[in-house]
Amino acid sequence: MEHKLEYLSPEWIAEAHRRLRADLSPEKMKHLTSSMLTVYTGCPDGGERALYYRVQDGVVEELSLSEGEAPAAEFTIVADYDTFARISRAELKARAALMSGKMTLKGNLVKALKLAPVVDRLNEVLSTIPTEYKAGKP
């Protein structure tokens, strides 16, 4: 049986960062420079988490998880744990979740929609990590 990493655990974050850097070239990332904060509500423990991505010239320079005070980012996306889990498993596209109201965005919506294919590439890589997901809390 394949060893699975718990979603959003320190081990999962480290593996996600390693894979994003290895699998996504600056060209695939369109030499993007931006930052994004994904805020997870309704985590299995009832808390809230924030996953911070910092991309510089198409390279994922930073991926970190915080509880409480999170870094400022160009975009902040808020959704519940289960929605982000579905996105990370590549079962739901980020753009579809945004347009259906399953998640909300703070930041430039026009730019965010243009970057949706890049975010989908990130999520395609994340979906390759053997992951154990727990049920979120409403």
Q: For residues 136 and 138, what is the distance between their CA atoms, to the nearest angstrom?
A: 7
Give me the percent of the chain exceeding a pLDDT of 90.
64
Class of domain 5-128: alpha beta
Amino acid at 42: G
What's the confidence (pLDDT) of residue 138? 66
Q: Is the dihedral of CA 100, 38, 87, 45 positive or negative?
A: negative
pLDDT at 7: 95
pLDDT in tens, 14-72: 999 999 999 999 998 889 899 999 999 999 999 999 999 999 999 999 999 998 788 89
CA distance 40 to 38: 6
| Residue 2 pLDDT | 76
Residue 1 pLDDT more than 70?
no
Q: What is the pTM of this model?
A: 0.89
The residues spanned by each domain of the chain are 5-128
CA dihedral 18, 19, 25, 26 (to 10 degrees): -50
Computed over every residue of the chain, the mean pLDDT equals: 91
**Residue 70 confidence (pLDDT):** 85
- Mean of pLDDT values over 70-80: 92
